[in-house]
Structure 1
Amino acid sequence: MSKFDEIRYFYDHEVNEKLGSVARDPMMKALMNFTFPDTDEQIWLEQFKNINSISDFQHKVIAHTVRQILAKSSDGLTTSGFEKLDKNTPYLFISNHRDIVLDTSLLNLVLLEKGLIMTASAIGDNLVRKSFLNVLAKLNRNFLVQRGLSIREQLTSSQTMSEYIEQQLHHEKSSVWIAQREGRAKDGNDSTQQGVLKMLAMAAGDQSVTDYFKTLRIVPVSISYEYDPTDSLKMPQLLAQHREEQYVKGKNEDFTTMLSGILGQKKRIHLHAGDVLDTELDEIAATIDNKNKQLQAIAQVIDRSIIENYKLWPTKYIAYDLLHNTGTYASEYTEQEKQLFIRRLEMRIDPSDPVSKEFFLTMYANPLINKIKAQNI
């Protein structure tokens, strides 16, 4: 038994059998009806028999699913920065995290269409407790981040995951996607958790952190949705934190959020691939001796790239002006865009509650606020 068996995605020789085990699941039928609405069930069941690798499954099924999601729930996906990446090089993509499923799905569609190496992607095991979702995730090259562990178990789990990521990049020659933080940024503040970098560094062995991180070829990725389809679903947790109350998730909350993120209206979406971290790591190594301070500095470099390259849609400027009762950024949006955004706010929260309104607007305005701060540093 491999030490990675608890977290790894399926090997290619397992794919056909695992796909067959969920082929007649009602959720698979719903997925295929969404992806191929004009195709009879017997046809795709027959086609499943010829899917013998994860690459087959991603090319023949999931890529079409993501294109359908874009067609039905967005006004299109644009990209920048990916032309600088080498087609034969695996990268560690570290991105801001807004949507449970789409962040990595959209990145992989972009990588596929540009002929770049697709990613093995981290996903919390709490999100795939339903057996169908667990199989679907592993068919789509997701590896599991174990949640709800004791301190001692967390240490072992982090070590295993660090070694698995190292193996994917250096031995399997697969790119890897990981979010810059545990959980989504519900308030629109994109910041890298030092703990994520500490986990990655656990496989460094005798190398210094900066030397090892150079071998990972880290690419910060900025993902920007014009509308967040889960904006109102993030509000209860934000309000509970504001009231200093403990927030307890509902039984199917993660699944509901997943579906809302996939099917809800996003309008325009932009993905930017930043520069590979390289000379910045040399500078950190030359000026900082302490390992924790080095990790802190690396987190700041990633943050700066994600924030500076984040595409600011009109919704961010509108939210900022409404939040501050100003017209500072009126030239960045039309009156129609402003009215649409106000209508959305009124439909999704109680606009008579000033706290809810402030939190909703801040969620949208924070990327702009953070970009202003970054430019003033």
Structure 2
Amino acid sequence: MSKFDHIRPYYDSEVNEAIRSVVHHPMMKALMSFTFPDVEEAVWTEQLKKTHSKRDFQINFIYQAIQMVLKKSSEGLTTSGFEKLDNHTPYLYISNHRDIILDTSLINVSLYDHKLIMTASAIGDNLVQKAFLHTLSRLNRNFLVQRSLSPRELLQSSKLMSEYIYQLLSRENRSVWIAQREGRTKDGNDTTQQGVLKMLAMASDEENLMDYFKKMKIVPVSISYEYDPTDMLKMPRLVAEANDEIYIKEKNEDFMTLISGIMGQKKRIHIQVGDVLDGELDRIKEEHDNQNKQIQALAQVIDDSILTSYKLWPTNYIAYDLLNNTDQFASHYTEKEKQLFERRLEMRIDIENKIVREGFLAMYANPVVNKMKYQNV
């Protein structure tokens, strides 16, 4: 028994048995029928039963599923920066977080395309309550972030996860993906939660924390969708917060968001990989000897990388202009693009509700606001 057993993905020796336990599940059938619409069920069933490793499962099935998602619900994925990375080096990718499944899936598709080490990826256990999804996540090399714990349990869980992430990077030569914050960004403001970095630091045995983070080879990643397929679903929470109310999720909300994120229209998608953090960590080490200050400075460095490299789309500029009643960025979009966005606005929300309208527009406009802090956009 390993102390990581309740959070880790399957070992390859467990993969075939796990696949056989779900091969006839209705959700597996739906996933495979979507991925291979012209292939008979008996064919993909047989292929699944012959699969004995996570890598084979990811490449032969999940990779193909994501390609179909891109084909059906987007106008394509572009990337930049992956060519700077070394094919044999494991990295800790810290990215902004817009979509439950796609953020990490698209990054892994890009890593595979660039012949780089794919990631083990953090996923909240609230998203895999259904037994089938739990099995699928473990086959897809996800490890569990435990939610809804008491403060004492949370501390123990965080330490365990910190140790596991370091083991993946240092002993198993496995890259790791983790979001910069717990939960998706709801308002378009991508910021790194210091708590995430404190969790990562818990396994450190270095005298100086920055030396530990240097060993992890942190790579900030920025992912942007022209349309957020879950934009409308984020509105109830924003309204509750605007009214100082506690937001309570609907029973199947996480699952519905997961499906909407995968199948909803995204138009264009871009992933930008930043540089491996190195000199920045030396600078933080020189300027701060207090750990909290170091964590604060590191969060800012990650934010700087993600926000400056975030790809802005016409939708972002249109939303900014509509929200601020200006035409400041009119040169960045066409009249047709503006009309399409306004139609989407009318179809997805009650535009008479000022809080909802402003919240919806701000979600798309805030990346422009954030980028303006760094440069003229």
Output the TM-score relative to the length of structure 1.
0.99
Structure 1 position 353, deviation (Å): 1.1
Q: Which residue of 2 aligns with 1:145?
A: 145
Give the Cα separation in 1 of the matches to 2:375 and 2:336: 29
In the alignment, the residues of structure 2 paired with residue 176 and residue 254 of structure 1 have an alpha-carbon distance, to the nearest angstrom, of: 23
Q: Deviations over 1:195-221 (max 9, x none)?
A: 000000011113411000000000000
How far residue 42 of structure 1 moved from its aligned partner, in angstroms, is 1.0
Alpha-carbon distance in structure 2 between the residues aligned to 1:66 and 1:220:
22
2:242–2:355 contact (8 Å) kept in structure 1: no
Which residue pairs with 2:276 in the alignment? Answer: 276
**1-side partners of 2:239 and 2:7: how far apart?**
33
Unaligned runs of 5+ in 2: none
Partner of 1:344: 344
Moved over 3 A (4+): none
1:374 positional shift = 3.0
Question: In 2, Cα distance between the equivalents of 1:349 and 1:40?
Answer: 41
Question: 2:155 matched to 1:136?
Answer: no
Q: Does 1:267 align with 2:283?
A: no
Mapping 1:64-83, distance limit 5 Å: 64-83=64-83
In structure 2, what is the equivalent of residue 166 of structure 1? Answer: 166
Q: What amino acid sits opposite 1:289 in the alignment?
A: D
SS of equivalent to 2:99: coil
Secondary structure of 1:20's counterpart equals helix
Name the SS for the 1:269 alignment partner. strand
User: Cα deviations across residues 210-264 of structure 1 (Å, max 9, x unaligned)?
Assistant: 0000000000000000000000000000110110111111111000000000000
Q: SS at 2:93's partner residue?
A: strand
Percent identity between the two aligned chains: 66
Amino acid at match of 1:276: V
One-letter code of the match for 1:246?
I
- The question of whether the paired residues in 1 share the 8 Å contact of 2:206 and 2:212 is answered with no
User: Corresponding residue for 1:205?
Assistant: 205
Give the Cα–Cα distance (whole angstroms) in 1 for the partners of residues 298 and 246 of structure 2: 32
Letter in 2 for 1:274: G
Tell me, what secondary structure is at the counterpart of 1:77?
A: strand
Unaligned runs of 5+ in 1: none
Q: How does 1:212-361 map to 2 (within 5 A)?
A: 212-361=212-361
The separation in 2 between residues aligned to 1:91 and 1:264, in whole angstroms, is 30
- C-alpha separation in 1, matches of 2:193 and 2:373: 19
Whole-angstrom distance in 1 between the partners of 2:112 and 2:136? 19
Secondary structure of the corresponding residue to residue 144 of structure 1:
strand
Mapped to 2, the partners of 1:206 and 1:97 lie a distance apart of 29
SS of residue in 1 equivalent to 2:375 = helix
Structure 1 residue matching 2:76: 3-state secondary structure? strand
Letter in 2 for 1:125: D
Q: Output the CA distance in 1 between the equivalents of 2:197 and 2:319.
A: 32
Q: Secondary structure at the match of 1:375?
A: coil
Q: CA deviation at 1:354?
A: 1.3
Q: Which residue of 2 aligns with 1:154?
A: 154
Matched with 1:25 is: 25
Task: Report the secondary structure of 1:374's partner residue.
Answer: coil
TM-score (norm 2): 0.99
In structure 2, what is the Cα distance between the partners aligned to 1:163 and 1:5? 13
Aligned-partner SS, 1:205: coil
- How far the C-alpha of 1:64 sits from its partner, in A, is 0.2
Give the partner amino acid of 2:214. K
1:167-220 CA deviation, whole Å, 9 max, x = no partner? Answer: 000101000000000000000000000000000001111341100000000000
Decide whether the 8 Å contact of 2:226 with 2:266 is kept in 1: yes
Alpha-carbon distance in structure 2 between the residues aligned to 1:375 and 1:280: 20
Please give the alpha-carbon distance, in whole angstroms, between the structure 2 residues aligned to 1:340 and 1:209. 49
